[in-house]
Amino acid sequence: MSSNDPQGYKKTLNSPYTGFKGWIDSRLPLVRMMEAEYLKFPVPKSLNYFWSFGGIAMFCLIGLILTGIFLGFHYKPSADEAFDSVERIMRDVNFGWLIRYLHANLVSFFFIATFIHIFRALYFGSYKAPRELVFLFGLTMFVLMMGTAFLGYTLPWGQMSYWGATVITNLFSAIPFVGDAILKLLLGDFNVGDSTINRFYVLHWLLAFAIVGLVVFHVITLHMTGSNNPTGSEPQSWDETVSFHPYVTIKDLNATIFFFIILAFVLFYYPNILGHSDNYIRANPMVTPAHIVPEWYFLPFYAILRAIPDKLGGVLAMFGSIAALGLLPWLDTSKVRSCLFRPVWRICVLLFAINFLVLMYMGGKPAEGIYVLISRIGTAYWFLFIFVLAPLVGFLETPRQPLSITNYLQSKKA
């Protein structure tokens, strides 16, 4: 066992430490695990700032859980009391407004970080072998994130909370045979009501911690393969890597602070800009808002839902759009990972990202006329990208020879 072999702890049970650290480490190998995975862990030295968004997302998650705990101290999950308890947090709890605005805006920034993180995975081919499981755990987390965010949005019990919950839970009634039973189980009633908010509150917590659990798997699988990098080429020697600490930690710290400056700007000066004004109106089952729109981060998927004229079809397309992404590691036939060396696929991926933003815009518009047409084209491209372009382009395209990490860094300097 060489001492600079970071995987060394797997080969021996003897702790390399003495004293108190050694006492702990020989009983609970936390010290050597942390050292191997977070201090010495080798990372390609060619990472750009796109690689910071996983860490940023993790900080967002931690922030959400911390603020969520404090909100939970004061919040009352009841149809009669929820709205007032949120206003009590905003007005009477010390720094309650800060905790609540932070929680509400961190979600949005969590999604921004996650969208960029997923885009990075697509652009640089991080989903391809041997990182398929990293990608699948990531996508699963993304689905749970959306579930948690949706549940959380119902909790303030404003008009959009109530009607958003009504529209989205109604989707489950589209499932043949068992739809109505699932709907009743979900709502605890025939309508969104007091029992709904109670179970949504519990599930909001449950899913949040399920995400934390999946982060562990996401990171374990990532640390088995190591990080991808812009070239998509694996490091060929120690020289092409840097240790996680201090090189990656300081870089991620820079990116995280920058990201949080933008968050702080929104949080302190436009805290409601990403929300909907209707949610400051108490939920009223007798009055339907003129346009029921979900939170901005659901809009692309909402557009896909509404693009399909059939209810069940729409639901399948919406959930299918994310599930299908999970097939990319096997549908993408190219041997080359990174878009830097795949001229045709690069255009497809960039179009996919633009298409995502277009769908987001369409999801916020009423489902009529040209908006539906564009949503349909966007939805078609989404599935075309995964099921046709991924296998076909990989087959037909002639990629350039990927540069090694060293050559890539030299060519960048030149």
Partner 1 sequence: MRSLFILVLSLLSLNTFAAGSKIDIPKYDWSWKGFFGTYDRASAQRGLKVYREVCAGCHSMDLIAYRNLEDLGFSEAHIKAIAAEYLIPDGPNDEGEMYEREAIPSDRFANPYPNVQAARAANNGAYPPDLSLIVKARPKGADYLKALLLGYVEAPAGKEVPEGQYYNKFMAGNLIAMPSPLSEGIVDYDDGTEASMDQMATDVTTFLAWAAEPSLEDRKRIGLKVILFLIVLLVLAYISKQQIWRDIK
Active-site positions read: 223, 227, 251-252, 295
Q: Which of residues 39-58 bind partner 1 (CB under 8 A)?
A: 45
Among 23, 49, 265, 330, binds partner 1 (CB under 8 A): 265
- Under the binding rule (CB under 8 A), the answer on residue 414 touching partner 1 is no
Min CB(280)–partner 1 separation in Å: 4
In whole angstroms, how close is the CB of 398 to partner 1 at the nearest point? 31
Nearest CB to partner 1, comparing residues 242 and 318: 242
Residues 243-262 that bind partner 1 (CB under 8 A): 246-247, 250-251, 253-254, 257-258, 260-261
String of b and e for 333-347 (b: at least 16 CB within 10 Å)? ebebbbbbbbebbbe
User: Pattern of binders to partner 1 over 371-410, x per CB under 8 A?
Assistant: --------------------------------------x-
Conformation bin of residue 160: beta by default, left when phi > 0, alpha when psi is -120 to 50: alpha
| Burial grade of 234 (CB within 10 A; 0-12, 13-18, 19 or more) | middle
Cβ at position 249, least distance to partner 1 in Å: 9
Compare residues 10 and 412 and give the one whose CB is closer to partner 1: 412
Instruction: Give the residue from 163, 168, 197 showing the smallest Cα distance to 285.
Output: 163
Q: Where in 226-245 is the site for partner 1 (CB under 8 A)?
A: 242
Task: List Cβ neighbours of 1 (8 Å cut-off, separation of 6 or more).
Answer: 8, 11, 12
- What is the distance between the alpha carbons of residues 305 and 398, in angstroms, rounded to a whole number? 36
Rounded to the nearest whole angstrom, what is the least distance from the CB of residue 288 to partner 1 in the complex?
9
Considering the rule CB under 8 A, would residue 271 count as an interface residue with partner 1?
yes
* DSSP letter (8 states) at residue 79: T
84 lies in the site for partner 1, by CB under 8 A:
yes
Per rule CB under 8 A, is residue 272 in the interface with partner 1?
yes
Spell out, one character per residue from 156 to 195, where the chain touches partner 1: x when CB under 8 A holds, - when not: ----------------------------------------
Instruction: State the nearest-atom distance from the C-beta of 168 to partner 1, in Å.
Output: 22
Interface with partner 1, residue 280, by CB under 8 A? yes
Tokens for 395, please give them.
Answer: 């087959």
Q: Which stretch binds partner 1 (CB under 8 A): 103-111, 267-275, 352-360, 396-404?
A: 267-275
Q: Quick one: which segment of 136-144, 273-281, 308-316, 389-397 binds partner 1 (CB under 8 A)?
A: 273-281
Q: From the CB of 108, what's the least distance to partner 1, in Å?
A: 17
Q: Which secondary structure element, helix H or strand E, spans residue 292, and what is its range?
A: none
Q: How many residues bind to partner 1 according to rule CB under 8 A?
A: 33
5-37: burial string, b at 16+ Cβ within 10 Å, e else: ebebbeeeeebbeeeeeeeebbeebebbeebbb
Calculate the alpha carbon distances from 298 to 3, 147, 303, 373 in Å: 48, 10, 9, 19
Chain centre distance of CA 385: 20
Beta carbon of residue 229, minimum distance to partner 1 (angstroms, whole number) = 14
The phi and psi torsions of 155 (rounded to 5 degrees) equal -65, -35
**Is residue 370 near partner 1 by the rule CB under 8 A?**
no
102 binds partner 1 (CB under 8 A): no
Pick 223 or 251: Cβ nearer partner 1:
251
* CA atoms of 105 and 273, how far apart (whole Å): 9
Contacting residue, 107, 207, 267, 325, with partner 1 by CB under 8 A: 267
DSSP annotation string for 323-359 = HHHTTHHHH---S---GGG-HHHHHHHHHHHHHHHHH
Helix (H) or strand (E) holding 241: strand 241-243
Closest CA to 149 of 219, 64, 81: 64
Contacts of partner 1 in 284-323 (CB under 8 A)? 290
- Taking the CB of residue 366, how many other CB atoms lie within 10 A of it? 11
Contact residue for partner 1 among 268, 273, 396, 411 (CB under 8 A): 268
Supply the minimum distance, in Å, between the C-beta of residue 407 and partner 1: 12
The interface region with partner 1, picked from 191-199, 266-274, 338-346, 351-359 by CB under 8 A, is 266-274
Collect all residues with Cβ–Cβ distance below 8 Å to 248 and sequence separation of at least 6: 43, 47, 51, 242
Binding site for partner 1 (CB under 8 A): 45, 84, 87, 90-91, 97-98, 101, 242, 246-247, 250-251, 253-254, 257-258, 260-261, 264-265, 267-269, 271-272, 277-278, 280-281, 290, 366, 409
